[in-house]
Structures are given as C-alpha cells and as structure tokens.
C-alpha cells in the first residue's frame, strides 16, 4: 500500500440505483482526497449523497463507476473477502445508534472486532481495556449497555472502533441520539483522538456545530461535492 499519497482518493464516483424512469443517481461524479490525520466533516441536505459516500468509503456499497483508492489500492479490484479484510484491519465504524449488544458488557462489546481477527482471549481483553481507558470508561468495563448513559454507550462504540488500531474512523451521525452537552463531550473526545493518535476521521453530520469540530468541511448537494474547504477550529 502507498503510505505517501492520500489515504483515500475518490475520482468521479457515481452510484446509480434502478434503471430508466426509476433511476436514482445518488452520487454524480464525486471526487476528493483525504490525507492522513485529517478530520473531515461531510454535510448536505437529505438526499445529497453523504450517506452513500460513507457507505462507499466503508466498502459497504460499491460505486457504479469511478475509482476508489484506499492507500493507493484500487478497491474495485478487491474481491468480497479482501474488502472484508480491509474493513476489519483498516477501518473503524461509529454509528448513530451505538449498535451495542444489549446483554453483553462494555468490555465484551469492545472485544468483538478482535474476535473476528482471531485474537487470543488475554490479548483481546487487554486491548479492549486499553481502548476503554482511552475513552474514560475503564471503570465501567463490566457494565451492560442498559447501565450506561447514551454518551457512555457512544464512548463504548468509539472504543470498539479504536480497538483494532484502524487507519480511518468512519462516523455516521455519531451525536445524533445525544443531547447538546453529551454531543460536545463526544466531539471533544474525537478531536483529541484525531490530534493525539493521528487517526484520520471522516464524519457525516447534519449539525453545523458538530461539523465545526472537524478540520475540513465537504458540502454535498444532489450527489455532487458543492464545496470543500478548511475549517478554522480552536487550538
């Protein structure tokens, strides 16, 4: 893989659903690069293509045409198993709905990606505890999600995204289910991880104040990139 170029490069990406009169062009010539260490916010009105873009970046959907390079590798050239390995080893996912297993402890939820990697129990537990410690929840490791607040559940979800040492974290409306105070706490945590750990973050959001925590804003309309500019954020 190419460690010198952008970690993500989309070139003229289209995503078309249906045919004829039923055709829906969700993405229409999307092009942008994302470099290591960036925190990119993606915004746009409903139907702008921001969620479809996130699905393409996460290898959860395939473009109809165009080129997606991850670390210099053409993703379209990967088979299903190789795309799964890319997700498992290079990407971390944070969702609006937390997606935690309900009758499983925070620790066990964070360990889950490491089970898929075939990691031994002792190493899994040690790494999961370290990830929980990074998000300030080591003391809650043995609590079920039902015993945690919404903000704490999202911190567990962030720890789960971190535990595999991903190169890129893809966050889809990570504060959508939280009140303002908890939303700010989560965003401050993500900024700290971006700055201290150098983790590249790509976040879809509909909230201006949350997008402002990023270092760059991509605004999408009708499946196209309408603007792409740096964000001046506090030091």
- Using one digit for the tens of pLDDT, what is the confidence trace for 101-140? 999 999 999 999 999 888 999 999 999 999 999 999 999 9
Q: Which domains does the chain have, with CATH numbers?
A: 8-230 (3.40.50.300)
Tell me the per-residue pLDDT of 130-169, one tens digit each, with 9 for 90 and over.
999 999 999 999 999 999 999 999 999 999 999 999 999 9
- 52 vs 120: CA distance, rounded Å: 35
- Give the pLDDT confidence score for residue 226 in this predicted structure: 98
pTM: 0.92
For all residues of the chain together, what is the average pLDDT? 93
Q: What is the pLDDT of residues 176-210, one digit of tens each?
A: 889 999 999 999 999 999 999 999 999 999 999 99
Query: Does residue 94 have a pLDDT over 70?
Result: yes
What is the reported pLDDT for 116?
85
Q: What is the pLDDT of residues 221-231, one digit of tens each?
A: 999 999 999 99
In this structure, what token pair is assigned to residue 228?
Answer: 């792409």
| Alpha carbon distance 164, 133 (integer Å) | 15
**CA quadruple 211, 225, 88, 201: dihedral sign:** negative
């Amino acid at each position: 893989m190419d460690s010198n170029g952008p970690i993500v490069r989309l070139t003229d990406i289209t995503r078309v659903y249906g045919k004829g009169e039923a055709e829906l062009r969700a993405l229409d010539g999307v092009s942008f690069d994302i470099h290591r260490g960036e925190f990119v916010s993606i915004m746009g009105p409903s139907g702008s293509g921001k969620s479809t873009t996130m699905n393409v970046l996460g290898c959860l959907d395939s473009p109809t045409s165009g080129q997606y390079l991850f670390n210099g590798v053409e993703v379209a050239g990967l088979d299903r198993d190789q795309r799964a390995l890319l997700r498992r080893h290079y990407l971390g996912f944070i969702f609006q709905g937390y997606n935690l297993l309900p009758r499983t402890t925070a620790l066990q939820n964070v360990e889950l990606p490491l089970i898929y990697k075939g990691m031994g129990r002792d190493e899994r537990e040690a790494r999961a505890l370290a990830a929980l410690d990074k998000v300030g929840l080591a003391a809650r490791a043995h609590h079920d999600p039902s015993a945690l607040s919404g903000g704490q559940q999202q911190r567990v979800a962030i720890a789960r995204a971190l535990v595999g040492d991903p190169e890129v974290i893809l966050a889809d409306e990570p504060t959508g289910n939280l009140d303002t105070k908890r939303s700010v706490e989560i965003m401050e945590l993500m900024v700290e991880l971006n700055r201290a750990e150098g983790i590249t973050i790509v976040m879809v959001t509909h909230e201006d104040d949350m997008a402002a925590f990023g270092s760059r804003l991509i605004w999408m309309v009708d499946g196209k990139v309408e603007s792409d500019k740096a964000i001046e954020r506090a030091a």
